C-alpha cells in the first residue's frame, strides 16, 4: 500500500509532529508549573497589601528617618512596592543583609506621615537564601543563678538531640512546656514580651555556641489595621538558616509569615524629631488575576518568557490576538470535519470566517442573518443570470447587493431596536459574495439538493467553529499558552498523512459490504 | 446495516479518499504535470502529436470577440460540442446535436439561438467552469456518434469508459452510462450509472447508481452486466499510452467509442474518483499493490496490457 518513500515521509511527519507537540506541551507545562500561569480562565489568587505608616514629629530642623523594609521575602513574590514620601527625599539601600529606606528633608515642622506600601502574593517555590556561614558566637558570661539554670537545660537538651535542628527544637519545647521545671521557671522569670523572650532564647543558644538571630515579620491573613511584627527564631545549622516558631518549636517558615527583616538592627532610626516615630502596620487582603501575579513572579525570577509573550502587548492588540489565535483551532476543526468526517463545504476556510462573524452576532442571529443574506443574494444572482453578465462584473454586482442588504438589515434592526441585527455589518461580505456565486453554480450544475447539502455543511461547520472558537477555556489557553499552537500544528501535520477512511466513506461504500458475510 | 465498518472496507481492499490522495495521487503524480491533463487543449494537442485518437478539434475560442466566430467555425459541421478547456466533472459542456433552421438543437432537444451559444462561450472564457475561476478557453470539437452497443443502457448523452491506469498499467475500469437524472452527462456524481468492467475480459460486471447497487438501467430497464465492450485491447493500449504520454503515475483515462472512428480519448484525469470500486464491487488496493510490487514495467505496450490483464484475471469481486 505504501512504498518506502511514503514510509520515510510518514516517519518524517511523525517525528516533526512529535517534536512540535512535545515542545509546545513542555513550554506550556513550564509556564504552568514554574511561572504559575493558570490553565483556567478568570482564576484569582490571594494577594496582600501591607502598609507601614511612619508618623514623625518634626521640629523645624532637618529630619532624617529610616525604616527597614523587606528584602526578597522568602515564600512571597513582590508585585508592587511604593514609597509615599511627601516632600522627603528617598534612598533605598541594601547593606549587611537588611534593606533600609531612608527619608530626609531639610526642613519640616509638625507631624509628618511617611508610607511604605508593598503588594505580595504567596509563592510555592522556596527561594533559598545563601549567605556567609556565620562564626560560632562566644559563650556569654551568665550571671548566677541564671547561668546554672541555662547550663542545666543545655545539658539536658544535648542528651536528647542529634543535631542543631533537633537541639533547637528540643530546647524550645522544653522552654515553653507547661510542666516546667525549676530551671525553666528561673529562665522565664521577668519576661512578658515575645521580643524579649526571643532575645533570651538567642542568648541561651549562644551558650551552646549555636549561631542564631531573630527574624521579625507579619502573619498575613485577613485584613487588619493594627498588625504587629512577631519574632521568629533563625538558627544556622552549619549549612543554612532554619526558621523556628518560638512557641511551638515547629521548624520552617510558617505559611503566610512575611519576614520584614532579620537580625538586631533597629527597625526605625530618626534624627531631628521630638520622639521616636511610631510605626503602624496594616494588612489588606485582595484578590488579583493569577496571570498578573505570574507575570510579576516570572519577572522576578528573571524569566524572559513572559516578557516576550502576548501579555506584553497593548490591551487592544491583545484583544485582536485573542480572536486571531483561535483561527488555527478553527482550521484544525475544519481539517477534522473535512478529512476525517468528510463534510462538504463551500470553500476551504470560508466556514471559519463565517464562524468569526458569528462571534459578534451570537449563534442564532448569526445563522438567521447568514441564511437571510445568502438567500437574498442567491435570488438576485439568479435574476442576474438572465442578464448574462461577465464573471467579474457579476461578482461585483452580487457584492454590492450583499452590502446593500447588510446595510438595510442594520437600519431596520436599529429602528426596531434589535441590537443583534446591527452586527450583520461584521459579516465578511466578500466571502458571502463568493459563497453566493459558488452556490448558484452548484445549484445550476448539480441541482438544488447538492447546493443545499454544501450550504448546510458550511453552516454546520461554521456553527461548530463558533462553538469551539468561543470556548472561554480554549481562548484563555491559547492566549496565555500560545505554544498550544505548536501542538495544533503537530496534530494538523499528523492529520495531513491520515490515510484512513472518512466517516462519510463508511456510508458511501456501505453497498460494498452488503452481501459479504 | 447503515454504516460499513472500517475493518470491513479494509478487508475488501477499498481505497478511501485520503489514501488515494496521499499514497497514490501525491506519491505518483508530479504537480507540474497537472496542466497537461487539467487543460484539455494541451491534452488533445499532445495526444494528436503522438498519434492517439481524439475527437477532432474544430476550433478554440479564447477571447470574448471570437465568440462571434462560432457560426463560421461550425459552418461545415452538423453537430459539435462546446467545452471549457479547464472544466471539471463535465461542467459547462454543451452538446449541439443538430440544426433547426437558424437555431441549434441541443442533445436534450432544447432549441437555442446563436446568441445563447455565444453567451455560453463567454461564460466559459470568463472562467465560470474552470478550477479556481481563472480565465479559460472554449473548445469546439467533434460530437462523438456513439456506438449503438450502449444504446439500450443509456439515456441521451454519450457513455464513456473510464480506465484507471497505475504506473502505466490499466488496473480497473468502468463504463459510465448517462441517465435522465444526469441530464445526459456521463458523470456519476450527477446521477449517471457506473458499470464495472473486468480488465481481463472487457465484459461489464455490476452497476452502481449513486452509492447503491443496480442491476438494470433506471430508464431503459436493460441489464447492465454482461455487455462485451468491443475494441477492448485497443482501449487498454490507448489508456497505457496516455499514461506514458503525460507521465502521471496514477491516472484516469476517459475513452468514448465512436460508431465510425472506434475508441477516442476524451480527457485525462489526475485525480480519478473512487466509485470504480463500487461499480466493480472490488477494492482497488489489491490491484494497485500488485502493480506497485512489480520491479519492472514492460516497455512494449502489448506486453504491458497482457501483463495487466493477467494480473487482474484472478482479482474477483469480493461482494
Residue A3: the pLDDT is: 65
Q: Which residues of A touch B4 (CB under 8 A)?
A: 506-507, 509-510, 512-513
Tell if the CB–CB gap between A6 and B27 is shorter than 8 Å. yes
d(CA A346, CA A436): 10
Q: In Å, what is the CA distance from A441 to each residue of A435, A447, B136, B141?
A: 10, 9, 16, 24
| Strand, coil or helix: A268 | strand
- Segments of chain B scoring below 70 in pLDDT: 1, 89, 131-133, 316-319
Q: For chain B, which residues make up each domain, given as ranges?
A: 6-50+147-313, 57-141
Across the interface, of B9, B119, B123, the residue whose CB is closest to A512 is B9
Residue A454 distance to chain B (closest CA, Å): 14
Which helix or strand (DSSP H or E) is residue A472 part of? helix A472-480
Q: Which residues contact B50 (CB under 8 A, 6 or more apart)?
A: B241, B245
Whose CA is closest to B242, among B184, B304, B189?
B304
- On whether any CB of chain B is under 8 Å from the CB of A382, the answer is no
Pick from A394, A509, A515, A516 the residue to mutate for testing the B interface (most B CBs within 10 Å).
A509
Residue B146: the pLDDT is: 81
Residue A2: the pLDDT is: 53
Across the interface, of B16, B285, B318, the residue whose CB is closest to A500 is B16
Tell if the CB–CB gap between A507 and B213 is shorter than 8 Å. no
Count contacts between A and B (CB, < 8 Å).
111
- The top-level CATH class assigned to B57-141 is alpha beta
- On whether any CB of chain B is under 8 Å from the CB of A6, the answer is yes
Contact B186, B266 (CB under 8 A): no
Pick from B1, B9, B87 the residue to mutate for testing the A interface (most A CBs within 10 Å).
B9
Across the interface, of B22, B127, B288, the residue whose CB is closest to A499 is B22
Contact B15, B286 (CB under 8 A): no
Tell if the CB–CB gap between B18 and A502 is shorter than 8 Å. yes
Q: Which residues of A touch B23 (CB under 8 A)?
A: 1-2, 6, 499
Residue A253: the pLDDT is: 84
- On whether any CB of chain B is under 8 Å from the CB of A388, the answer is yes
- pLDDT tens digits, one per residue of A159-209: 888 888 888 888 888 888 777 777 788 787 777 788 888 888 888 888 888
Q: In Å, what is the CA distance from B271 to each residue of B31, B33, B289?
A: 11, 12, 18
| Strand, coil or helix: B251 | strand
Tell if the CB–CB gap between B319 and A516 is shorter than 8 Å. yes
List, edge to edge, every strand of the sheet that includes A257-262.
A241-244, A230-236, A212-219, A257-262
Residue of B nearest to A504 (CA): B3
Residue of B nearest to A444 (CA): B91
| DSSP annotation of B203 | B
Residue B171: the pLDDT is: 94
List, edge to edge, every strand of the sheet that includes B138-141.
B57-61, B138-141, B80-84, B94-100, B103-106, B111-112
User: Which residues 290-319 on chain A approach chain B with CB closer than 8 angstroms?
Assistant: none
Residue A515: the pLDDT is: 60
* Model ipTM value: 0.79
Residue of B nearest to A497 (CA): B22
Domains B6-50+147-313 and B57-141 share a fold: no
Which helix or strand (DSSP H or E) is residue A109 part of? strand A98-122
Across the interface, of B133, B211, B289, the residue whose CB is closest to A511 is B211
Instruction: Write out chain A's pLDDT in tens, 517 residues.
Output: 456 777 888 899 999 999 999 999 999 898 888 777 788 776 777 888 898 888 888 887 888 888 999 988 888 888 888 888 878 888 888 887 788 998 888 887 788 888 898 888 887 655 555 567 788 888 888 888 888 888 888 888 888 888 888 888 888 888 887 777 777 887 877 777 888 888 888 888 888 888 888 999 998 877 777 888 889 998 888 888 888 988 888 888 888 889 899 888 888 888 888 787 888 898 888 777 777 777 777 776 666 666 677 777 777 777 788 888 999 999 999 999 989 998 888 877 788 888 888 887 788 888 888 898 889 989 988 898 788 777 778 888 988 988 898 888 888 888 887 776 677 777 777 778 888 888 887 887 777 888 888 888 889 999 999 999 888 889 888 888 889 999 999 999 999 989 899 998 888 888 877 764 3
Across the interface, of A3, A503, A514, the residue whose CB is closest to B319 is A514
Q: Which residues of B touch A492 (CB under 8 A)?
A: none
Q: Are strands B193-197 and A257-262 parallel, antiparallel or unpaired?
A: unpaired
What CATH number has the domain spanning B6-50+147-313?
Answer: 3.30.470.20
Tell if the CB–CB gap between A512 and B127 is shorter than 8 Å. no
Residue A124: the pLDDT is: 67
Tell if the CB–CB gap between B3 and A506 is shorter than 8 Å. yes
Q: Which three cell numbers stand for residue B181?
A: 437524472
Residue A307: the pLDDT is: 66
Residue A517: the pLDDT is: 37
Helices vs. strands in chain B: H and E counts, helices first? 11, 13
Residue A129: the pLDDT is: 59
Q: Which residues of B touch A12 (CB under 8 A)?
A: none
Amino acid at each position: 500500500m505504501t512504498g518506502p518513500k511514503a514510509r520515510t515521509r510518514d516517519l518524517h511527519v511523525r517525528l516533526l509532529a512529535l517534536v512540535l507537540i512535545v515542545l509546545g506541551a513542555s513550554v506550556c507545562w513550564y509556564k504552568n508549573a514554574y511561572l504559575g500561569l493558570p490553565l483556567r480562565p478568570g482564576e484569582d489568587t490571594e494577594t496582600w497589601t501591607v502598609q507601614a505608616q511612619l508618623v514623625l514629629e518634626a521640629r523645624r530642623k532637618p529630619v532624617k528617618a529610616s525604616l527597614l523594609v523587606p528584602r526578597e521575602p522568602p515564600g512571597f513574590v513582590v508585585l508592587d512596592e511604593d514609597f509615599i514620601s511627601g516632600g522627603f527625599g528617598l534612598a533605598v539601600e541594601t547593606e549587611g543583609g537588611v534593606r533600609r529606606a531612608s527619608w530626609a528633608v531639610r526642613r519640616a515642622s509638625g507631624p509628618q506621615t511617611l508610607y511604605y506600601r508593598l503588594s505580595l502574593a504567596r509563592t510555592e517555590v522556596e527561594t533559598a537564601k545563601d549567605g556567609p556561614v556565620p562564626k560560632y558566637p562566644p559563650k556569654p558570661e551568665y550571671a548566677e543563678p541564671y547561668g546554672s539554670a541555662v547550663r542545666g537545660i543545655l545539658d539536658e537538651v544535648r542528651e536528647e538531640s542529634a543535631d542543631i535542628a533537633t537541639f533547637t527544637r528540643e530546647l524550645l519545647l522544653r522552654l515553653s512546656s507547661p510542666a516546667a521545671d525549676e530551671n525553666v521557671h528561673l529562665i522565664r522569670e521577668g519576661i512578658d514580651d515575645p521580643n524579649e523572650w526571643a532575645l533570651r532564647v538567642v542568648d541561651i543558644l549562644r551558650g551552646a555556641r549555636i549561631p542564631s538571630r531573630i527574624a521579625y515579620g507579619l502573619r498575613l491573613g485577613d485584613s487588619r489595621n493594627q498588625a504587629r511584627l512577631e519574632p521568629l527564631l533563625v538558627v544556622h545549622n552549619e549549612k543554612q538558616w532554619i526558621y523556628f516558631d518560638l512557641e511551638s518549636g515547629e521548624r520552617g517558615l510558617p505559611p503566610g509569615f512575611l519576614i520584614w527583616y532579620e537580625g538586631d538592627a533597629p527597625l526605625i532610626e530618626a534624627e531631628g524629631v521630638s520622639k521616636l516615630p511610631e510605626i503602624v502596620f496594616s494588612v489588606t487582603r485582595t484578590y488579583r488575576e493569577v496571570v498578573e501575579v505570574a507575570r510579576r513572579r516570572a519577572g522576578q525570577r528573571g524569566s524572559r518568557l513572559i516578557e516576550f509573550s502576548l501579555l506584553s502587548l497593548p490591551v487592544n492588540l491583545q484583544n485582536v490576538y485573542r480572536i486571531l489565535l483561535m483561527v488555527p483551532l478553527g482550521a484544525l476543526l475544519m481539517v477534522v470535519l473535512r478529512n476525517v468526517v468528510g463534510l462538504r463545504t463551500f470553500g476551504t476556510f470560508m466556514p471559519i470566517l463565517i464562524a468569526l462573524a458569528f462571534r459578534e452576532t451570537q449563534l442564532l442571529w448569526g445563522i438567521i442573518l447568514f441564511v437571510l443574506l445568502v438567500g437574498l443574494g442567491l435570488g438576485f444572482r439568479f435574476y442576474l443570470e438572465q442578464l448574462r453578465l461577465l464573471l467579474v462584473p457579476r461578482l461585483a454586482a452580487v457584492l454590492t447587493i450583499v452590502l446593500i442588504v447588510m446595510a438595510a438589515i442594520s437600519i431596520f434592526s436599529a429602528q426596531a431596536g434589535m441590537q443583534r441585527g446591527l452586527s450583520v455589518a461584521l459579516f465578511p461580505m466578500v466571502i458571502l459574495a463568493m459563497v453566493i456565486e459558488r452556490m448558484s453554480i452548484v445549484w445550476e450544475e448539480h441541482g438544488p439538493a447538492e447546493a443545499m447539502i454544501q450550504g448546510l455543511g458550511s453552516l454546520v461547520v461554521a456553527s461548530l467553529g463558533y462553538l469551539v472558537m468561543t470556548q472561554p477555556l480554549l481562548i484563555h489557553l491559547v492566549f496565555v499558552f500560545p505554544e498550544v499552537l505548536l501542538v495544533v500544528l503537530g496534530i494538523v501535520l499528523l492529520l495531513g498523512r491520515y490515510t484512513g477512511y472518512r466517516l462519510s466513506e463508511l456510508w458511501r461504500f456501505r453497498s460494498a459490504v452488503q452481501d459479504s458475510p | 446495516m447503515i454504516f460499513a465498518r472500517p475493518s470491513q472496507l479494509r478487508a475488501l481492499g477499498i481505497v478511501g479518499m485520503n489514501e488515494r490522495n496521499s499514497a497514490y495521487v501525491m506519491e505518483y503524480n508530479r504537480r507540474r504535470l497537472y496542466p497537461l491533463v487539467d487543460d484539455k487543449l494541451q491534452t488533445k494537442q499532445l495526444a494528436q502529436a503522438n498519434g492517439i485518437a481524439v475527437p477532432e478539434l474544430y476550433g478554440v475560442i479564447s477571447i470574448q470577440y471570437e465568440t462571434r466566430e462560432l457560426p463560421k467555425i461550425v459552418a461545415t459541421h452538423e453537430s459539435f460540442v462546446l467545452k471549457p478547456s479547464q472544466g471539471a466533472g463535465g461542467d459547462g459542456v454543451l452538446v449541439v446535436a443538430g440544426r433547426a433552421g437558424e437555431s441549434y438543437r441541443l442533445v436534450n432537444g432544447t432549441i437555442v439561438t446563436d446568441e445563447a451559444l455565444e453567451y455560453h462561450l463567454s461564460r466559459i472564457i470568463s472562467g465560470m467552469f474552470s478550477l479556481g475561476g481563472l480565465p479559460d478557453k472554449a473548445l469546439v470539437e467533434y460530437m462523438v456518434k456513439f456506438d449503438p452497443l450502449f444504446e439500450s443502457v443509456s439515456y441521451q448523452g454519450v457513455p464513456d469508459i473510464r480506465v484507471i491506469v497505475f504506473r502505466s498499467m490499466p488496473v480497473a475500469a468502468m463504463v459510465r452510462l448517462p441517465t435522465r437524472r444526469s441530464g445526459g452527462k456521463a458523470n456519476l456524481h450527477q446521477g449517471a450509472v457506473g458499470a464495472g468492467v473486468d480488465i481481463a475480459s472487457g465484459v461489464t460486471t455490476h452497476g452502481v447508481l449513486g452509492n447503491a447497487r443496480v442491476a438494470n438501467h433506471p430508464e431503459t430497464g436493460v441489464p447492465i452486466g454482461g455487455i462485451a465492450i468491443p475494441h477492448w485491447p485497443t482501449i487498454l493500449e490507448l489508456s497505457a499510452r496516455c499514461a506514458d504520454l503525460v507521465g502521471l503515475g496514477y491516472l484516469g483515462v476517459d475513452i468514448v467509442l465512436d460508431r465510425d472512428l472506434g475508441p477516442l480519448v476524451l480527457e485525462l484525469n489526475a485525480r480519478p474518483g473512487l466509485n470504480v470500486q463500487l461499480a466493480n464491487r472490488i477494492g482497488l488496493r489489491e490491484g494497485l499493490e500488485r502493480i506497485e510490487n512489480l520491479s519492472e514495467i514492460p516497455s512494449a505496450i502489448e506486453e504491458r496490457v497482457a501483463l495487466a490483464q493477467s494480473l487482474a484475471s484472478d482479482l474477483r469481486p469480493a461482494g
